[in-house]
Amino acid sequence: MAGNSVKSVAKAVSEFQYPWRDKLTKYKDELSKGVWGYWHLGAWKPLGISARRRARLRKEVMLAGEDWPYDPERKAMRTKRKGHKCDRISAEKRANTAELMKKMPQMLADYRKRKWEKKMNEEDAAAKKTT
């Protein structure tokens, strides 16, 4: 009785721990089909190897220092920032306002000069009309 249980445990351990190269050759076709499964003739087919065993095989291969080519390529990182836009750009707005306030005296002088020139042109045009 004890001999049978020892044999069954030994068999289970040996089945579970056979070398990863054999596992890799056995499941090569399944692993190349995708991570979760694949579409075949309009129907979704799960992989022939479970995710747990796939992860264990991947871990064994990586620990052995080999390359694992069956992972999908990673997507680009999300660049959109969280939060309100007005909160992010308020500092930029304050800096821009400070720059404009430094230019304000010159801007006012230019405005007054334009208004004065416009007024003078209108007066000259009115004087020419009356003459």
Domain boundaries, the chain: 2-63, 85-131
Average pLDDT, the chain: 85
For residue 129, which amino acid is it? K
* Cβ neighbours, 10 Å, residue 21: 12
What is the band of 95 on the pLDDT scale with cuts at 50, 70, 90?
Answer: very high
Residue 14 has pLDDT above 60, yes or no: no
Q: pLDDT tens-digit profile of 15-57?
A: 555 688 888 888 888 888 877 888 889 999 888 888 898 899 9
45 or 2, higher pLDDT: 45
Task: Classify residue 84 by its DSSP letter.
Answer: -
Q: Are 54 and 31 in contact (CB under 8 A)?
A: yes
